[in-house]
Structure 1
Amino acid sequence: MAAEKLTDDEHRQVAKEMHALWQAGARKSQLEIDFWGNTGAHGKAFSGYVKRWLGVATESKSKQSGELERLRGLLRAHGISPSSTGDLEEEFRLVGKSRDSALAAVRIQNDPIATFRTETFILLMIIAWNSLFQAILERDGVDYYERDDSGRQVKVDGRPRVLDTWKLMSLAIGAPEWQAVRCNVDFFLGLRNQIAHRYLPALDVVVLGEAQAMRLNFERLLSHQFGDEAALGTRLSVPLQLSGFRNSDANASFRRAQAKLPTDVSSFLAQHRHDVPEEVLESAEYCLRIFLVPVTANHEHSADAAVHFVPMDKVTPAMKEELQQLGVVTKRRRTPVASADLLRPSEVVNLVVERPPYRFTMTTHTRCWRHYEVRPADGAKELDATDDRYCIFDRLSRGYGYTQAWVEKIVRDLSKPATYETVVGIEPDMR
């Protein structure tokens, strides 16, 4: 039976049938052979399958054996073999890798003196999700390797190539109830591709809500699939460098930083938030918004907990009204960025500078647009007389935006020494 082709309802039905046969006297190992052709699980796969899809335990344990199993599970979840042989199932190797990567991501993001925080957080969390999806599929016996047209595994440097993260996610958590979680992971998959090899400190504020949601989503799925022993909860804390405690001058500085995000990144953020369904946009699994209201401790036990979390479904209309008055309840706007696909001159330079073998500066860029006449000279009367393949005049900002095609043309032409000298007017200077 191809488990990856079954829906959740079909899995539950199969689990009910197997459980009924077992209660009627069938051996677990024989059921594993009959249903899956699995001759090596010796009842373990049956027990895990029924526990996952029916929530029914088929192993009776004494209190002592239950505690031993919990400790074994704790070791396995941390990537440590509980046996003297040192053997560890592949699913738990992947769980250990996943946890380590997630903890490293949280540690970097919560470090107030770290730089490149959000960029590193995203990269490490994608690795954590990728490993967690593989662990789920490995445990469930679902094939998660790329295969060619003949069905053979695709290999790179002699090792089988795993499916990309999006495909792994679709196999591991494809059910409707995980939609908001999938949208959140998809948000960061796309953002990772946008920010690779770039330093964008403003992201620390701009995607804080989505990052918080990603942390909790990961913790939820990890515990749901591999038990409380695998949870990160005891290793996480609320970061104190939250923007809610900053003064107005600091907040203004962050708003100015956000305005400096590259146009293509701003465009991606706005477009993704615009495209997701309304119920996903408002879900805490897509973007977690936390409202901090400072309070004082009036008596000895008032400060037992520094932070109290109130789930949004527990917030009463009266509380919402009060928060509205405080100005902390906001609705995310779905307005796409105007001129979202255009680049500033500085962004063109940043995208080009490392690609041709020759030196490229803002002056070089100016000489390029003048040579190709993609826009009028400064002071011209017809400001919108541009070559719209490469440049467009923005009436509101009274400036010029450049296209990705312009970047590719520059890279292509200025990689040739003769063309470089013709366009720029000087001999090419190696970087």
Structure 2
Amino acid sequence: MTLRKGKTKSTLESSIESALLAVEIYNKPRTPFRVEGFITQMIMAWTRLFHAHFHNTIGNKYYYKNSNGRYQLIDGEKKSWELKTCITKHGKLPASVKSNLIFFIKLRNKIEHRHIDRDEIGVIIFGECQALLFNYENILINFFGEEYALNESLAFSLQFSRLRNKSQLLASKKLLSKEIKELKYFIETYRNSLSEDIFNTQEYSIKLVQVPKISNTNRNDLAIEFVNWNSVSESDKKSYDKVTAIIKDKVVKKEAINPGKRKPSDVISKVNSEIDFTINHYDHKCLYSCFKIRPSSSNDIDDPFDTNINYCHYDEVHNDYVYQDAWAELIIKGIKEKKLSKKIWKQKFKEKDVFDITNFQT
């Protein structure tokens, strides 16, 4: 499909430029905040790709409207559908591709106000990043044809082959900030929420095994060859499965459900056993809202996993929250030190104000 000049073509070209910039950022090892840069540019690339597709198929109809039928405006411009809405409106993406995109939408929202100056997150989500780019090109070709493929514009990124030893990994883990730990918890939780069928697809996360070519190599051969999975023999597939069983990066937990976690009633009972008055469930809601250890309401949030993992976790299976012992201890400590009282937290909750939790952790 050869597009003429117009909004579809300009939007598509802008999408492709964002994708190429994302790759350029990702492949420069000394680029500050390269993980955030890659994710941000790829979200823009995907959004503009959908906008170009919608403009080409349904015209100027990918904008939000108010109940009176008028367009919603931002700084005088019509508000277009964001990526999550585009995915829903399109409705035809494979589940694995959709899962990969939703992962990055949620991750982008989490890192938007964080400064990640380490490579740990980039290493952890390498497979998802590769899949995000490959999926983009596949959908791009599906929407507009082979002539818009990116493979002629991209180079394979050089990677250091020497793995960090155990002592280096342990030292690195000790340096991880609280924010990095929260992101790692989100990534692990999201992966474990996926079915095996989706997680194991290349569309969700590309898993690469690097095997040096050491024999029977023609001097004119390419240094890197990509093999179509469908052309691999059954015996080689079985061998590959044995390898991936060893290196697979998904964490599979085999443990008791929510060990060491408390229900709200357990937190209340624990606190009441240590103080000279009693609190109830409304008091507990005031407290977790004012300390922002979890979303205040399930009706006005987009991400239930947005919790302070030192005190609270979202239990997706039961669609509720469970609390650490540290949460009850923090409340007890605050009450005993006269920093907390019913009057104080009810007033804070009424005014939608928050406590600085660091003042209660010392």
Query: What TM-score do the two structures reach when normalised by structure 2?
Result: 0.65
Say if 1:90 and 1:299 are closer, same or farther in 2 by CA, change over 3 A.
closer
Equivalent position to 2:207, from 285, 289, 301: 289
1:122 aligns to 2:39 (yes or no): yes
1:156 aligns to 2:74 (yes or no): yes
Higher relative contact order (CA 8 A, sep 6+): 2
The match for 2:105 is: 189
The match for 1:105 is: 22
The match for 1:133 is: 50
Unaligned runs of 5+ residues in structure 1 are 1-47, 49-72, 77-81, 83-87, 343-372, 377-386, 414-418, 425-431
Deviation at 1:245, TM superposition (A): 4.2
Deviates more, 1:145-154 or 1:309-318: 309-318
Deviation at 1:161, TM superposition (A): 0.6
Task: Please tell me the residue identity of whatever aligns with 1:129.
Answer: W
Equivalent position to 2:11, from 87, 90, 94: 94
3-state SS of 1:267 partner: helix
Say if 1:292 and 1:167 are closer, same or farther in 2 by CA, change over 3 A.
same
Q: Tell whether the 8 Å contact from 2:260 to 2:325 is kept in structure 1 after alignment.
A: no
1:95 and 1:250 map into 2 onto residues whose CA distance is 47
1:309 aligns to 2:226 (yes or no): yes
1:144 aligns to 2:62 (yes or no): yes
The match for 2:84 is: 166
Deviations 1:53-83 (A, max 9, x none): xxxxxxxxxxxxxxxxxxxx3xx5xxxxx7x
The 5 A counterparts of 1:3-402 are 73=2, 88-142=5-59, 143-172=61-90, 174-175=91-92, 178-200=94-116, 201=118, 202-241=120-159, 244-246=161-163, 248=165, 252=169, 256=173, 262=179, 263-296=181-214, 298=216, 300-301=218-219, 304-323=221-240, 324=242, 329-330=247-248, 332-335=250-253, 389=288, 400=326
Task: Please tell me the residue identity of whatever aligns with 1:104.
Answer: L
Structure with greater Cα Rg: 1
1:254 and 1:184 map into 2 onto residues whose CA distance is 30
Q: Tell whether the 8 Å contact from 1:116 to 1:199 is kept in structure 2 after alignment.
A: yes
1:306 and 1:338 map into 2 onto residues whose CA distance is 48
Identity of aligned residues (%): 24
Say if 1:327 and 1:286 are closer, same or farther in 2 by CA, change over 3 A.
closer
Task: Please tell me the residue identity of whatever aligns with 2:144.
Answer: F
Task: Please tell me the residue identity of whatever aligns with 1:98.
Answer: S
Deviations 1:348-376 (A, max 9, x none): xxxxxxxxxxxxxxxxxxxxxxxxx9xx9
Deviation at 1:321, TM superposition (A): 4.7
Say if 1:203 and 1:140 are closer, same or farther in 2 by CA, change over 3 A.
same
Task: Please tell me the residue identity of whatever aligns with 1:121.
Answer: F
Unaligned runs of 5+ residues in structure 2 are 263-270, 275-283, 294-309, 313-323, 335-344, 350-354
1:214 and 1:146 map into 2 onto residues whose CA distance is 26
